């Protein structure tokens, strides 16, 4: 347990200070939002696993409603609070520390639940199930998920071996779409994030940090292991990025 806690601390150190904590971009956030047709003028929005909140700020620009942004990690929440203060939108964004597995929030309250790169933390299908009661009937759930884009026989063995280790639950677009349907959502649409969404605000700044981290942890094999795994993940994307991607799904809760 202590071992896990230490590895987690190293992982957080590797990830700290990045503009985003996963693939994504403002254009994709806007494109997914455009699929949420018929939102009220001042929607109530829940951004789960908001991280440093780049997408939260885009939502605040595009919508005139109230946003509740939740994450487990204080450091990310501090980053988001600084962004909220800089933009002067403290009255419209509430930043909350909380666990997505146990959200103490009112039922039938939100018009829109947003989850970029975060639902996988509790299992994508579990998240669809657990968060549904928080949505008003007809409310939307927009979430990104890592999926295979290539059919199984065409997936590069090296990429399959890597992701089998890192994210064994990884599946494909059709399977995730059926998770929505099986849990009472109508799929409003889905699209694949552009390759730039992996690099500009995530892998490029992450790759820039790696030489500093190698130096910092030069006498710590365990930490170096985490750094090298990060390097491998970035290499996977460079070599095999055509075979997998991040898919943005937008589902609408039935009545």
Ligand X SMILES: C[S@@+](CC[C@H](N)C(=O)[O-])C[C@H]1O[C@@H](n2cnc3c(N)ncnc32)[C@H](O)[C@@H]1O
Binding site for ligand X (CB under 6 A): 20-22, 24, 49-51, 54-55, 70-73, 76, 99-101, 116-118, 121
Classify residue 60 by burial, with Cβ atoms within 10 Å: 0-12, 13-18, 19+. Answer: buried
Question: Minimum CB separation from ligand X for residue 33, in Å?
Answer: 14
- Quote the least distance from Cβ 210 to ligand X, whole Å: 18
Only one residue has tokens 């998240």, namely 127
In the chain, alpha helices (H): 2-15, 26-34, 54-62, 74-87, 124-131, 157-166, 173-182, 196-198, 204-216, 221-240
Helices then strands, each counted (H, E), the chain: 10, 8
Nearest alpha-carbon partner for 205 in 55, 50, 75, 21: 21
What is the Rg, in whole angstroms, of the alpha carbon atoms belonging to the chain? 18
Shortest distance in whole angstroms from residue 8 CB to ligand X: 10
- In the complex with ligand X, the residue whose CB is nearer, 20 or 190, is 20
In 3D space, the residue among 75, 32, 31 whose CA is nearest the CA of residue 50 turns out to be 75
Query: Cβ closer to ligand X: 185 or 198?
Result: 198
64 phi, psi to nearest 5 deg: -100, 25
Considering the complex, state which of residue 19 and residue 184 has its C-beta at the smaller distance from ligand X.
19
Q: Whose CB is nearest to ligand X?
A: 51
Q: Minimal distance in Å, beta carbon 136 to ligand X?
A: 22
The smaller minimum CB distance to ligand X, of residues 117 and 245, is found at 117
Minimum distance from CB of 74 to ligand X (Å)? 10
Which residue, 73 or 191, has its beta carbon nearer to ligand X?
73
């Amino acid at each position: 347990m202590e071992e896990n806690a230490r590895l987690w601390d190293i992982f957080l150190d590797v990830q700290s200070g990045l503009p985003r904590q996963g693939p994504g971009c403002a254009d994709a956030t806007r494109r997914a939002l455009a699929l949420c047709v018929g939102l009220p003028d001042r929607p109530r929005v829940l951004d789960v696993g908001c991280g440093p909140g780049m997408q939260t700020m885009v939502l605040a620009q595009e919508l005139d409603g109230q946003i509740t942004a939740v994450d487990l990690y204080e450091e990310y929440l501090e980053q988001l609070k600084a962004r909220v203060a800089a933009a002067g939108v403290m009255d419209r964004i509430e930043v909350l520390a909380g666990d997505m597995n146990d959200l103490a929030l009112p039922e039938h309250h939100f018009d829109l639940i947003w989850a970029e790169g975060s639902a996988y933390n509790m299992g994508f299908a579990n998240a669809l199930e657990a968060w549904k009661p928080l949505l008003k009937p007809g409310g939307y759930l927009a979430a990104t998920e890592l999926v295979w884009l290539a059919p199984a026989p065409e997936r590069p063995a090296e990429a399959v071996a890597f992701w089998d280790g890192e994210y064994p639950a990884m599946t494909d677009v059709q399977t995730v779409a059926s998770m929505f349907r099986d849990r009472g959502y109508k799929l409003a649409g889905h699209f694949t994030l552009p390759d730039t969404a992996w690099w500009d605000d995530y892998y490029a700044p992450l790759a820039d940090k790696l030489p500093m981290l190698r130096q910092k942890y030069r006498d710590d094999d365990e930490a170096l292991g985490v750094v090298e795994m990060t390097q491998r993940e970035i290499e996977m994307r460079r070599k095999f990025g055509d075979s997998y991607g991040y898919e943005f799904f937008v589902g609408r809760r039935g009545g």
